[in-house]
Amino acid sequence: MDRILEPELMEDEAQVAAYAGADFAEENQGFVDRFREYFPDFSEGHLFDLGCGPGDIPIRLARALPACRVTGIDASAPMIRLAERAVAEAGLSGRVTFRCERFQDIAGANQADAVLSNSLLHHVPNPLQFWNRLRQLVKPGSPVLVMDLLRPESPEAAQAIVDRYAADAPDVLRRDFYNSLLAAFTEDEITSQLARMNLTRLLIDVIDDRHWVVGGIIH
Ligand SMILES: C[S@@+](CC[C@H](N)C(=O)[O-])C[C@H]1O[C@@H](n2cnc3c(N)ncnc32)[C@H](O)[C@@H]1O
């Protein structure tokens, strides 16, 4: 099955509210725990979270790494509004800040001591732009961790995943999940993107039936 793009930004109020209200605790905490597992010596510095959505991962990162600052970047104004509110409620506004900006437009290079991104890449029309920007943003010798969905082999297989993991979710969330699976990349496509960008030190791991993770140090 070929990739079917979905809109790049999540700006629709109902869509944003459904996404922010969903329970991604296990997935998001698993992502943060994986970062600590892959990079056990990383304890200080400035982390970027690209496509941070409603801010749950930046909050979890700030709690797990108390000597770190986190900047969440998302070009959706409604997402950033919710993220700012969540961080204020968590009492973490001193260490977690947000920028409403496309990652493609972030100025400058070598700014981050680590870059993370969960569930952004499938929104991006040209994935090479993402890997290129990631490499520019992170300081040489710094860790990166990227996670996203795997594209299933057929629309029927995508529907089966939605039915298995989001049976009781609101319709808007089920529709977004289905569209995201169709817009996602396969393991082979990610491997070839990394090769084209000369990022072969980053390793891909397929961690379950619907997610891949790429991690490593950028030199
Ligand atoms: C599926 S959500 C993931 C949110 C969060 N990372 C999480 O794991 O819960 C993807 C987010 O990426 C944002 N996004 C998509 N394209 C973007 C871009 N080019 N620059 C910045 N943010 C973008 C969307 O607006 C959306 O909030």
- Give per-residue pLDDT as tens, 102-122: 999 999 999 999 999 999 999
Report, as an integer, the average pLDDT of 189-211.
97
Quote the mean pLDDT of the chain. Answer: 97
Q: What is the pLDDT of residues 188-199, one digit of tens each?
A: 999 999 999 999
**Beta strand 211-218 with 44-50: parallel, antiparallel or unpaired?**
unpaired
- Closest Cα partner for 214 from 200, 180, 41? 200
What pLDDT was estimated at residue 217?
A: 97
Residue with CA closest to ligand 1 atom 6: 52
Residue with CA closest to ligand 1 atom 18: 102
Q: What is the pTM of this model?
A: 0.97
CA distance linking residue 6 with residue 194, whole number of Å = 22
Ligand 1: residue of 5, 6, 9 to mutate (most ligand atoms within 8 A of CB) is 9
CA distance linking residue 159 with residue 156, whole number of Å = 5
Q: Is the pLDDT confidence value at 214 over 90?
A: yes
- Portion of the chain with pLDDT greater than 90, in percent: 100
Report, as an integer, the average pLDDT of 97-103.
98
Tokens (6 digits) for 54: 């409603």
Residue with CA closest to ligand 1 atom 15: 9
- The CATH code belonging to domain 13-218 is 3.40.50.150
CA distance linking residue 216 with residue 219, whole number of Å = 10
